[in-house]
Amino acid sequence: MPILEIKDLQAGIAGRQILRGVNLTIAPGEVHAIMGPNGSGKSTLAQVLAGRDTYVVTGGSVRLNGQDLLDMSPEERACAGLFLAFQYPVEIPGVSTSYFLKAALNAVRKYHGQPELDAMDFLKLMKQKMKLLDMDTSFLSRAVNEGFSGGEKKRNEILQMAVLDPKLAILDETDSGLDIDALRIVAGGVNSLRGPDRGILLVTHYQRLLNYIVPDYVHVLRDGQIIKSGDKNLALELEARGYGWLEEPVAVH
C-alpha cells in the first residue's frame, strides 16, 4: 500500500481553480521532489494535504496509508502521521516552544494510545533532537517562532518533524533562506527520518538541496498539474535549462 496516493486532485479558492488534477503516488521508503515555477500550486498542494480549509477541494481523492485523507481534520491528519513543514512558519507570541511541542507530541501519542510523556522524558527527548539539529535549548523557552530568523524558523520546523516522527513529511521550501551549513544540518535531519515505512515530499526551487537529500523521483508542477516526472537527473536538467522547454501536460506515473 502506498504511503500517499493522490488521484486527480482539484482544488482552489473561491471561484479560482489552482490544482487542476494532480496525480502522485509515494510508495514506502520513497523521497519525491516537486519543483515548478512560482505560483504553480506547490504550496497549495502541500496545504491542501495538511487540511487547510482556505482551499476548497473540488474533485479527486487522497489516501494516506489507505485512509481517506480529505475526510479528516488537520489534527487527525497530523496524528495519523502527516507532517507539513511550512514555507512560512507563523509566529505565535505568548506560547512557548516547549509548551507547544509537548502538547503536540502528547496529542499524537494519545491518538496512538500511548501514555503522555512527563516533563523529564520530554526534556530528554528535546535535548537529543536539538543536538542533532545544532539548536540551542534556549529556543525552548522562547515563544513559537517569535523573533526567529528565517533559518531558525526552518530549523524549528525540522525539529518539530523530528519530535513528532511522522509517516509522511511534506517540506515546503524548507531549504529556502538557509546558508550552506544550515542546509547540511536540515538535510541531515530529513535523511535521518528516511526509512522503509516512510515517505518524504520535498517542495523546492533549488537543485542544491537534492545533493543532500537525493530524491527517487522529481516532478514538475505547472498551472496546477504535474507536467513531467523523472529521476534526480530531471532536477539537474531544470537547473540548467529552466522550465521553458517543458511543453504540454503529459500523463505521468
Partner 1 sequence: MTQLMTNTSYLQRLLPSASDSSPGPLWLQARREEARQQWLRAGLPKNTDEQWRFTDLSPLAETVFSSTAAALAAAPSSDGRLPGIEAAELVLVNGKFHHQASRLPPAPVKIALLSQAAAAELKIFEDLLGTQARPTHHGLSALNTANFSDVVLVEVPAGITVAAPLNLIVHAVGAQPFAAYPRILLKIGANSSVTVVLSFAGPDNLAYLTNSLVETYVGVGSRVELVKIQREGTAASHIGSDYVHLDRDVTFQSLSLNQGGLLVRNNVTVTLAGPGSQATLNGLSMTAGRQHVDNHTMLDHAREHCASHELYKSLLAGRSSGTFTGKILVRPGSQKTDAKQTSKAVLLSSQATMNSQPQLEIYADDVKCTHGSTNGPLDDEQLFYLRARGLAYNQARAMLTSAFAADVLARVWQPALRTMLEDLVVTELHRLEREEF
- Name the site residues for partner 1 (rule: CB under 8 A): 50-54, 73-75, 77-79, 84, 86, 89-90, 92-95, 100, 103-105, 107-108, 111, 143, 160, 164
Distance CA 114, CA 173 (A): 32
103 binds, among Mg ion, partner 1, ligand ATP, none (CB under 5 to 8 A by kind): partner 1
Q: Please measure the distance between the N-terminal and C-terminal CA atoms of the chain and give it in whole angstroms.
A: 16
Output the smallest distance, CB 120 to partner 1, in A. Answer: 21
- Alpha-helical runs (H) found in the chain: 42-50, 74-79, 97-111, 119-132, 150-164, 180-193, 207-212, 232-241
Rank residues 86 and 217 by Cβ distance to partner 1 and give the closer one. Answer: 86
> Residues in the chain, how many?
253
Per the CB < 8 A criterion, the answer to whether 64 and 77 are in contact is: yes
Output the smallest distance, CB 52 to ligand ATP, in A. Answer: 9
Rank residues 55 and 243 by Cβ distance to partner 1 and give the closer one. Answer: 55
Q: What torsion do the CA atoms of 243, 248, 251, 253 make, to the nearest 10 degrees?
A: -10
Which parts of 6-65 interact with Mg ion (CB under 5 A)? Answer: 42-43
Cα-Cα-Cα-Cα dihedral sign, residues 76, 6, 234, 196: positive
13 binds, among ligand ATP, partner 1, Mg ion, none (CB under 5 to 8 A by kind): ligand ATP
Rank residues 38 and 54 by Cβ distance to partner 1 and give the closer one. Answer: 54
Is 174 a residue that touches Mg ion (CB under 5 A)?
no
